[in-house]
Structures are given as C-alpha cells and as structure tokens.
Amino acid sequence: DMMREVLGLKELEKKIKNRLQLRDVIVVAGDSDQSPWVKKEMGRACVARIKELLEGNTIVAVTGGTTLAAVAEMMTPDSKYRDVLFVPARGGLGEDVKNQANTICARMAEKAMGRYRLLHVPDQLSHETYQSIIEEPAIKEVLDLIKASSIVIHGIGDAKTMAERRKTAPEEMEKIEKNRAVAEAFGYYFDQEGKVVHKVNTVGIQLEDVQKVKHVIAVAGGASKAKAIKAYMKQAHHSVLITDEGAAKELIRD
C-alpha cells in the first residue's frame, strides 16, 4: 500500500471517484494497452474485491470479454466460495467461445472451487423463439438465479471495437455509428452522455436489473478505453470501477 501511495495510484483513485461520482475506484499500475499483464493485475484487484463482498449464498454474475477472462485466470480457491454460485450475466453476444460469458463463468468457478450454472441459449433468436425459450423450465431456472445475483462483474469496451469483434450485422452497425455510440457493456451500447443507443437482444440481466444489483464491479483499462469508461459511468454511479493507470490518466485529463 505504501508503494501505491508512492506511485500516486491512491491520488488517481480519489480524483476519479470524485470526478465520475462513483462508489469506489481501484487503479492498478501500468497500461493494459501496452502490457498484457496489467489486465491480470486488474483481475487480481477484482478477485480481492469479490472476496470482501461475499456473504453466505452469494450469486455472482459475470460477463464475457478478455478482461473478464483475466479476472477468471486470477481467481484462487477459498473456503468462502463453497456457497457461491457463478452464472453468466446474459446470453450470447456474438463473441468467440473464449470471450463468452459461459466460458468465463465456468473457468472462474473452477478456479474458485465454487459452483456454476450456464445458459444454453443461441445468440440470435427470433422474437417468437425468444419468448418460448425463456419459458423453458431449465432456462427459466437459470434466468431466475441470474436475476437473484447480488454481485455483477462486467467489462466495458469501446463501441466500435466491440461491434466489429462481434461481427455485428451491417444495419445494426449503422445504427451504432449513426447514434455515436462510444461505449459497450453487456451488450448495451452507450453514447458519450451514457444514454443507451442500441442493445443486443439476449436473455439474462438487463440494464434495469444491473441498476438494482447490490454490488456492481466494472473492470476496464487501457488508455484507449478512457472515453468508453467515462461515457458508461455516467449512468452507473453506484458501481465500483477497477481500472489501470493508462485509462486513469486519460480520465482525469480535461
């Protein structure tokens, strides 16, 4: 902690917390755009925070992405996880398997030696199929568990980067660009005021639900994500932000 003081990380945390009006902010050293291990440092910080928040039968919902994959990698077993259930926050968003919430959820639970449930729902659903699938007992059971989560851990992405990575259809791409989306989180796209301009239709946690979850932790770093973080956080004041110095320095720039 002495080291973090010397590095000025605590000062950065205080400034960002005040400026973005957040519940709490953790800044790790480095810039994950430059050094891949910085993502793991954010992961380590996230794991430590999760452990502090656990109380009895906690349900932890996680999203996908490379940052959340790093959180999963840094997870360590603890007797506290015996009564913890990990679930994916939402259904598929068009990501590669390694970046999917299901994959990360299972990995995290295995590393924690906790339990998990997965959502077996295809990514692209017609309205009719969607309506019937959420009534399937096995699916409904998992969806109810997801809605009962008291901790949500998610990443934040740059809108364009995420839309491209997920091979978004041209007409959706156009909508995202036309409405000047700058941020993405759990399949929602936000403009620079933090207003939703597009959402991917899938089951699981919706934005209205996230706003009611007791503990929400956003993990996102790298100078290239500063704009996205700033935009997303405009509508997420009750969240904890775990970021890196690279993003943090941009966040306090005027």
Residue 64 or 246 with smaller CB distance to ligand G3H: 64
Minimum CB–partner distance for residue 134 and ligand G3H (Å) = 22
30 scored as a contact of ligand G3H (CB under 6 A): no
64 scored as a contact of ligand G3H (CB under 6 A): yes
Residue of closest CB approach to ligand G3H: 65
28 scored as a contact of ligand G3H (CB under 6 A): no
Binding ligand G3H (rule: CB under 6 A), the pick from 12, 49, 67, 71 is: 67
Residue 54 or 218 with smaller CB distance to ligand G3H: 218
Question: Residue 4 corresponds to which tokens in the numbers above?
Answer: 């973090």
Binding ligand G3H (rule: CB under 6 A), the pick from 13, 184, 244, 245 is: 184
Residue 67 or 243 with smaller CB distance to ligand G3H: 67
Instruction: Tell me which long-range contacts 1-10 makes (C-beta under 8 A, separation of at least 24).
Output: 4/29, 9/245
Q: Which of residues 135-164 bind ligand G3H (CB under 6 A)?
A: 155-157, 162
The b/e string for 1-17 (b: 16+ C-beta within 10 A; e otherwise) is eeebeeeebeebbebbb
Contacts to ligand G3H by CB under 6 A:
63-67, 155-157, 162, 184-185
